[in-house]
């Protein structure tokens, strides 16, 4: 049995589209749980109306994605737990494909699906751990070779946007680390899974269409990318060490500085502000 957990906070109409993409999965026996992370809108009520099979877990406060995902997983019974963002829609058969590939490998513990944006353009779904390789090579050119195949691939870590985890592995790891509010928790979980001897798979053929980061945009605005960097710095400090964290800060900071300068010269104020916020996050003492 497969369980799907969706953590919702201000996803609006996107949540309804997300659940609609899972209707066929539910008909096949998939268990679906929505965690309302104290969302201030009525998106959970609206999206679940007419879907009595969706179990809703109401959180009293927004403790972040990691805490919400753990709360949702605790209310599931599936042998595999799939986490899907509320602003993402699984394509037909994607959940089944992702879980089948994961189940077929005894040494695998986590699998992530391929991602596309609303226009059909590929989005990143996996990345590297290295504090230099991650900021410099996890770019569109850096992922080019991987995109030439639809075959499952072993990678360092996969995005929590559309991720499946075997139940015994998830339980043994204690779920996501709630020290991460948003961003970095998927990287952390995959790192701990690999340390426990489990492989992490990227399955591009299991695709989800990912919207424009609705919840994160509501919370962070133009500083969303800065929030991503803060989460990654936290990962390096907690799991790899101070030296790795400093290296990542330096490389990511230099990259953000260059991007800020280029955007400023081109008169792209919004992009310049976004990159400047990321640069600030790289050297913020509370990162």
pLDDT in tens, 103-162: 999 999 999 999 999 999 999 999 999 999 999 999 877 777 777 788 999 999 999 999
Domain boundary, last residue among 202, 218, 234: 218
The reply to whether 149 falls in a domain is yes
DSSP result, 53-72:
TSEEEE-SS---HHHHHHHH
- Run of H or E residues at 62: none
Cβ atoms of 215 and 41 within 8 Å: the answer is: no
- Is there a single domain that holds both residue 114 and residue 164? yes
Domain boundary, last residue among 218, 237, 260: 218
35: containing domain: 2-218
DSSP result, 201-257:
EEEEEEEEEE-S-HHHHHHHGGGHHHHHHHHHHHHIIIII-HHHHHHHHHHHHHHHH
The reply to whether 287 falls in a domain is no
Q: Report the distance separating Cα 152 and Cα 17, nearest Å.
A: 27
Q: Report the distance separating Cα 102 and Cα 203, nearest Å.
A: 9
- Is there a single domain that holds both residue 196 and residue 213? yes
Number of domains in the chain: 2
Query: pLDDT tens digit string along 217-251?
Result: 767 777 889 999 999 999 999 999 999 999 999 99
Mean pLDDT of 256-271: 95
Query: pLDDT tens digit string along 45-99?
Result: 999 999 999 999 999 999 999 999 999 999 999 999 999 999 999 999 999 999 9
Neighbour count for residue 241 (Cβ, 10 Å):
12
Query: pLDDT tens digit string along 177-229?
Result: 999 999 999 999 999 999 999 999 999 999 999 987 777 676 777 788 999 99
Q: What is the CATH number of the domain that holds 49?
A: 3.90.550.10
DSSP result, 110-165:
EEEEEEE-TTS-EE--EE---TTHHHHHSSTGGGTTGGG--S-EEESEE-TTEEEE
SS3 71: helix
- Is there a single domain that holds both residue 259 and residue 130? no
CA 164 from chain centre, in angstroms, equals: 11
């Amino acid at each position: 049995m497969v369980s799907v957990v969706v953590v919702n906070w201000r996803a609006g109409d996107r949540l309804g589209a997300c659940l609609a993409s899972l209707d066929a999965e539910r008909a096949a026996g998939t268990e679906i749980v929505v965690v309302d992370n104290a969302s201030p809108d009525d998106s959970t009520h609206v999206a679940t109306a007419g879907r009595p099979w969706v179990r809703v877990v109401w959180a009293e406060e927004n403790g972040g994605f990691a805490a919400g995902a753990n709360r949702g997983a605790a209310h599931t019974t599936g042998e595999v737990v799939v986490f899907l963002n509320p602003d993402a829609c699984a394509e037909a058969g994607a959940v089944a494909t992702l879980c089948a590939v994961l189940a077929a490998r005894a040494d695998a513990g986590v699998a992530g699906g391929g991602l596309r944006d609303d226009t059909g353009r590929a989005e990143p779904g996996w990345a590297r751990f290295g504090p230099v390789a991650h900021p410099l090579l996890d770019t569109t050119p850096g992922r080019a070779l991987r995109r030439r195949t639809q075959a499952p691939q072993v990678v360092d870590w996969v995005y929590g946007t559309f991720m499946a985890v075997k139940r015994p592995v998830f339980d043994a790891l204690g779920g996501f680390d709630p020290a991460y509010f948003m961003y970095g928790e998927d990287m952390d979980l995959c790192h701990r899974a690999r340390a426990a001897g489990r492989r992490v798979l990227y399955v591009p053929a299991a695709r989800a269409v990912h919207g424009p980061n609705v919840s994160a945009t509501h919370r962070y605005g133009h500083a969303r990318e800065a929030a991503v960097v803060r989460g990654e710095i936290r990962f390096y400090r907690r799991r790899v060490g101070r030296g790795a964290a400093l290296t990542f800060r330096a490389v990511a900071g230099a990259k953000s500085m260059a991007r800020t300068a280029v955007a400023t010269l081109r008169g792209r104020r919004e992009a310049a502000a976004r990159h400047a916020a990321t640069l600030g996050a790289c050297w913020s003492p509370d990162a």
